[in-house]
Amino acid sequence: MQTYGKRAFEAIHRATSCTNLVEVREDGVWPAPELKEDDKPGDKPGDKPDSWIWNYAVEMEGPDAPDPQEIPSLPFPFTAYQLAAFMLGGIGVIYCDDPTNWAHEPDEESLRFGILGTKSIEVFKAAYLANHNAELKVKKLNKATQLLAQETAERYQAALDGGYESERVLEDGITQDEYCARVEQVRQSASDLKGQMTKAKDQADQELDHWRRAMVRQLFRAELAASVVAAPVPVMVPVAELGAALGTLDATVVVPASELPDPERRLIALRELGGAAKWTRGRDGIQAWRIKGIQSLVAQEKAQGRKRSDEKTIRDDLRDAAEAESMEKRSDWNK
């Protein structure tokens, strides 16, 4: 699995304007120390007392899961999958356009990492693609719920602002008791809106938490599958781990991943990305292998620096692998 170091991240870091939120150390990327002390809850979905110090280890479980308090938000070295998970929340959100909506690649304006930033561009593109593919599996976050929470928060704040003005809360010469009485009157008049805001925000936060947890876990299932395919030696993989990742194995197997030819390896990768190779009849009435999801695979192959990664070559490889697999199945049926 390709990994990237501190310098690759620093080029990405220099391209953002919110560097005061982040501390880049030798072992990784950490929230600025003051965030742990000063971070306060807000009214928007996802705004919590600890929203900036979130890291993806929060969403992992099991005896091998890291302690979120002991690791950086992004460790050095890191993989594209770790960078992808990092950008889903906490300080990682400052490095992407929208942490809840992923295109298959970032826009060119966000790739200004300098003349030496080729590896930074490579991992950043691969991270976007990883989140895009994970989102295809997990499904997109319900933006209507998030928007409702934001709108109710804005209505509540507008009611407070209007109430403060109509009740002349800041009038010169009033006593402290009168000031407090007027503030309480405003708050009471807006109490229904506050209840609506709290309910909408709780629902939005719950959906965001569930979606982000599913995204993180899907990313690391995909990383597991990719590491098996790219492993330099045969790997013993328990079905409990690999079955969820590849969805095709029903027993513990030895996977000689490094010996897989490109066609077979690419067919596995295509399916992991949610694509398929099927023998079907087209609108022209001609039967042929139809490849779904090849664009995502081509982008991934290029991001990983694979040779022979033009679309025509990959399509030919997929067709050959699918045909060989189909012939093997027919042979088994005839036994």
Taking 60 as the threshold, does the pLDDT of residue 258 lie above it? no
Q: Token pair for residue 170?
A: 């800041």
How many C-beta neighbours within 10 Å does residue 177 have?
Answer: 8
Collect all residues with Cβ–Cβ distance below 8 Å to 125 and sequence separation of at least 6: 105, 106, 111, 299, 303
pTM score of the predicted model: 0.66
CA distance 205 to 45: 5
| Closest C-alpha to 3, from 81, 56, 62, 116 | 81
Collect all residues with Cβ–Cβ distance below 8 Å to 186 and sequence separation of at least 6: 160, 163, 164, 167, 169
Note the pLDDT tens digit of each residue in 18-69: 888 899 999 999 999 888 655 544 545 555 555 888 999 999 887 788 899 9
CA dist 315 to 159, 258, 266, 296, 330, Å? 59, 21, 9, 12, 22
CA distance 262 to 238: 24
Domain boundaries, the chain: 1-248, 260-333
Which range in 45-59, 112-126, 246-260 is most confidently predicted, on average pLDDT? 112-126
- Determine the pLDDT at residue 71: 94
- Determine the pLDDT at residue 233: 43
Note the pLDDT tens digit of each residue in 68-108: 999 999 999 999 999 999 999 999 999 998 999 898 889 88
Angle subtended at Cα 19 by Cα 206 and Cα 112, rounded to the nearest 5 degrees: 100
